[in-house]
Structure 1
Amino acid sequence: MTTAKKQKMIQELFKERMNEDELLNCMRCGFCLPSCPTYTMSGFKESQSPRGRIAMMKGVMDGLIEPDEEFKRSLNLCLGCLACQTVCPSGVKYGHLLEDARDILAQNNSYSFPVRAVRKTVFNGLFPNPNRMKRTAGLLGFYQRSGLQNVARKIGFLGLIPAHMALMEKVLPDMPTRQEVKNRPEHLEPIGAKTHRVAFFSGCLMDSMFLKTNDATTRLLQLAGCEIVIPKDQTCCGALHGHYGEKSGSKELAKRNIEAFEGLNVDFIITNAGGCGGFLVEYGHLLKDEPMWAERAKAFSEKVKDITEILVAVGFHQKVKLMLPQQIITYQDSCHLRNVMKTEAAPRTLLKAIQGSVYQEMNDAGHCCGSAGIYNIIESEMSMKMLDYKMEQAKNTKATTIVTANPGCLLQMKLGIEKEGLSTKMRAVHIVDLLLEAVVGE
């Protein structure tokens, strides 16, 4: 198919699938501009702003501009952090527009063989299959524990890959053993008086690479009086698929999760990863056009809560004594936890309740750190600009502990600490790990 025919097909799909009312909701007021990281980091280019991208989407729909490489580049460079949505006076659902546009482009794009292979491996082979995720974590664990990691570092093998990728290898968490991965509970009783019956969304990345954080999460829930159900048939949330043009894959994963969780008779579905939670609460929108699933998806989404929300709701920080050695703590918002789930106050309430430490708010804490799923791999230059800015804000707080609520943010902040040469003075930690560390008697 010629380029002209392909562009014509894309324009027709934009007319067919894009929500024109939503596109027209944008008043071009510019309130979104200061909140958009790519707009400010690109030197205030209109094409790298939410307003500019929406204008280009409408232009493609109306046949006024072609969906050329410049247009695709503009959409690809967007982090999808959705900070623009929180400040938009018209309530434009930019995230929905971005996902639909990327899906149309991805399904009508001629990728090179290496890119096709990577996309097929990630979207079809790895993330939808929890067992493969665990086997991958097992291979990383073997690499760490067998001595291969030390050998690779000593012989300079990591010098053959990009510098930021070499640093990523350095900040990977210690992988769980095969036995730890195998012995996962499906039901846990509350400690003390029962407050709620909840289901735990363990996630794919969290339940393999960050298994100890998941264990800390369930322990906190038990201490908060929660009976916990952990359905074994759950799978990846589908966020990566939805954000990178594989919408059909995200729908299939959503349906699998809905089937795994419905009928459990729980008060809430708890997540500890902002990126996952931000997509889980969108299942109602994702499946709104499928009559067999729309209501089930809506019911699922309405039960999703972040771990920090439920802890604050039951007064965990008031019932349990939290204490740490003297340190300054600051908090880095997960974009989707803050901008989609609207969870901003709860993490700060819990951190401020820790005795012995001082909480210091970071300037521009809601500014994206540049992780954004796999963005820090495929758009490393822009990602590192974001990270450099974020680290400047973190250093200004004089903090010794940077707290996050999402695995991607956690790795990105660890990367920033290594990049700045601050690993002996500063650490990055997931909020549930820090809270469990602070529970007196644990």
Structure 2
Amino acid sequence: MTTVQEREIIADQFAEKMNEDELLNCMRCGFCLPHCPTYIESGLKESHSPRGRIALMKAVTDGLIEPDEDVERSLSLCLGCRACEPVCPSGVKYGHLLEEARDIIHQNKKHSLPVKAMRKAAFNGLFPHQERMQNMTSLLGFYQRSGLQYIARKTGVLSILPDNLATMEKVLPKVPKKSEMKNRPTELPAIGNPVKKVAFFSGCLMDTMFLDTNKATLKLLQLAGCEIVIPKAQACCGALHGHSGEKEGAKQLAKRNIEAFEADEVDYIITNAGGCGAFLIDYDHLLQDEPEWYERAIAFKNKMKDISEILVDLRFQEKVRLKLPSQSVTYQDSCHLRNVMKTSKAPRILLQSIEGIDFREMKDADRCCGSAGIYNIVESEMSMKILDSKMEHTKSTQADIVVTANPGCLLQMQLGIERENLSECTKAVHIVDLLLEAVVL
């Protein structure tokens, strides 16, 4: 709960920092409403829509209302999926407004000691340091391999966790050994004639918990004719910081990454995680007030490409035969990949090029699954409502495989499959894992 003094400071910061022109760009037309998951799942509550949230931001900026708990709650409940942006006739950059508002609130309110300690541990102590991420993930690996997981499940001790967290424990990927996480390449040659030189953004969770998916990505790039460099100095993309009111931390990570990827002359910078890619491609906005970094951020942004886009650009699906046993597949869009990186056709082109695949388009495949970083943990109730709706559309496809392009979406869809008792007949996979499995050498 914020104090009167804190609310006054936050109100002043809104007036000083919020982009007045961007707030005024919203015409209140309502085109965003049917595309907003929290608006739909809250029973069409206006304050839980993009239009409503912008109205609240504007009212605080103009001094018409206080930035009280109701305002903070409305902003916190937003997934940040940015599905409102592609349908906005005025082109309002809602995601930028949301991040600025959250940053102002979180930087000017006093968190309780446990919350403050947890935020400091995560944002300052863990995510900016890949070795610590490896150590943390190794603990999970030890839990999985040592027999502790078996004991925990058999004794029912996991029942003390909330239902969604207990279910999530079941769907976590098998974590590689620490030695495997540490022994990572920095350069890889193309297989066959090289046609492009690319740099790979390996990410923090992707290069630990989802290491096999990163390996699959690198192999696909090699098969597509790419020479690859993997800058050792790269860091976490900063998305978790940026979405959680830790803007300065996000800026520091952005600068580290820009410097790391400037060291090599490459045609593209490739990512395989929609959430990371969307934040990376927004570095120019993040650093817009720092002229010495802004131009470098634009150069960085202009090289960003999702793995599916470069594979299609290089006609991978025509050069390499892709074949799997007969099965049905549907695709769940990563919100940030679709809404921010504007990539939706490429994954479908690749999936439909696999022999043996019966591709089935999911209704509202572009609607958020409810993962949104750590949203499914901190806003569990709303996240599960959104996931339940998503699973209804998933079940209607009767697909054997649900394909995603982002680790958070992958875990969320696996969670949905487990909750619906569909694990015997349906599985969720990252698109690069399916593509590599389909490659006929």
TM-score computed with the length of structure 2 as normaliser: 0.99
What is the match of residue 81 of structure 2? 81
Instruction: List runs of 5+ in structure 2 lacking aligned partners.
Output: none
Q: Does 1:406 align with 2:406?
A: yes
Deviation at 1:9, TM superposition (A): 1.1
How many residue pairs get matched? 441
What is the match of residue 294 of structure 1? 294
SS in 1 for 2:194: coil
Q: Does 1:350 align with 2:357?
A: no
Q: Deviations over 1:137-172 (max 9, x none)?
A: 111111100101000111111001111001111100
What is the match of residue 14 of structure 2? 14
What is the match of residue 139 of structure 1? 139
Distance (whole Å) between structure 1 residues aligned to residue 136 and residue 6 of structure 2: 37
Q: How does 1:214-233 map to 2 (within 5 A)?
A: 214-233=214-233
Q: Deviations over 1:262-304 (max 9, x none)?
A: 0300000000000000000000111011021110111001101
SS in 1 for 2:333: coil
Matched residue type, 2:302: E
What is the match of residue 435 of structure 2? 435
Distance 1:186-1:2 versus aligned 2 partners, 3 A rule: closer
Deviates more, 1:399-408 or 1:171-180: 171-180
What is the match of residue 390 of structure 1? 390
Distance (whole Å) between structure 2 residues aligned to residue 222 and residue 346 of structure 1: 18
Matched residue type, 2:220: L
SS in 2 for 1:270: strand
Distance (whole Å) between structure 1 residues aligned to residue 113 and residue 12 of structure 2: 27
Q: Deviations over 1:46-74 (max 9, x none)?
A: 00000000000000011101100000000
What is the match of residue 375 of structure 1? 375
What is the match of residue 160 of structure 1? 160
Q: CA contact under 8 A between 2:200 and 2:269: conserved in structure 1?
A: yes
What is the match of residue 126 of structure 1? 126
What is the match of residue 55 of structure 1? 55
Q: CA contact under 8 A between 2:231 and 2:260: conserved in structure 1?
A: yes
What is the match of residue 90 of structure 1? 90
Deviation at 1:109, TM superposition (A): 1.6
Deviation at 1:2, TM superposition (A): 8.2
SS in 2 for 1:357: strand
Q: CA contact under 8 A between 2:85 and 2:91: conserved in structure 1?
A: yes
Q: How does 1:3-402 map to 2 (within 5 A)?
A: 3-402=3-402
Distance (whole Å) between structure 2 residues aligned to residue 298 and residue 285 of structure 1: 9
Distance (whole Å) between structure 2 residues aligned to residue 238 and residue 415 of structure 1: 25
Q: CA contact under 8 A between 2:2 and 2:110: conserved in structure 1?
A: no
Distance (whole Å) between structure 2 residues aligned to residue 34 and residue 239 of structure 1: 26
Distance 1:363-1:265 versus aligned 2 partners, 3 A rule: same
SS in 1 for 2:292: coil
Deviation at 1:121, TM superposition (A): 1.3
Distance (whole Å) between structure 2 residues aligned to residue 190 and residue 21 of structure 1: 47
Q: CA contact under 8 A between 2:2 and 2:109: conserved in structure 1?
A: no
Distance (whole Å) between structure 2 residues aligned to residue 181 and residue 339 of structure 1: 31
Deviation at 1:388, TM superposition (A): 0.5
Deviates more, 1:430-439 or 1:3-12: 3-12
Distance (whole Å) between structure 1 residues aligned to residue 8 and residue 140 of structure 2: 45
Distance (whole Å) between structure 1 residues aligned to residue 116 and residue 157 of structure 2: 27
The percent identity for this pair of structures is 68
SS in 2 for 1:370: coil
Deviation at 1:344, TM superposition (A): 0.5
Q: Deviations over 1:323-342 (max 9, x none)?
A: 01111000000000000000
SS in 2 for 1:92: coil
Q: CA contact under 8 A between 2:237 and 2:254: conserved in structure 1?
A: yes
Distance (whole Å) between structure 2 residues aligned to residue 2 and residue 402 of structure 1: 43
TM-score computed with the length of structure 1 as normaliser: 0.99
Instruction: List runs of 5+ in structure 1 lacking aligned partners.
Output: none
SS in 2 for 1:65: coil
Distance (whole Å) between structure 2 residues aligned to residue 234 and residue 411 of structure 1: 25
Q: CA contact under 8 A between 2:2 and 2:68: conserved in structure 1?
A: no
SS in 1 for 2:327: strand
Matched residue type, 1:251: K
Distance (whole Å) between structure 2 residues aligned to residue 52 and residue 92 of structure 1: 13
Deviation at 1:313, TM superposition (A): 0.1
Distance (whole Å) between structure 1 residues aligned to residue 424 and residue 126 of structure 2: 35
Q: Deviations over 1:372-403 (max 9, x none)?
A: 00000000000000111111101100101000
Deviation at 1:4, TM superposition (A): 2.0
Distance (whole Å) between structure 2 residues aligned to residue 338 and residue 226 of structure 1: 24
SS in 2 for 1:204: coil
Distance (whole Å) between structure 2 residues aligned to residue 231 and residue 176 of structure 1: 21
Q: CA contact under 8 A between 2:187 and 2:228: conserved in structure 1?
A: yes
Distance (whole Å) between structure 2 residues aligned to residue 126 and residue 2 of structure 1: 27
SS in 2 for 1:292: helix
Distance (whole Å) between structure 2 residues aligned to residue 293 and residue 178 of structure 1: 35
Distance 1:53-1:416 versus aligned 2 partners, 3 A rule: same
Q: CA contact under 8 A between 2:312 and 2:346: conserved in structure 1?
A: yes
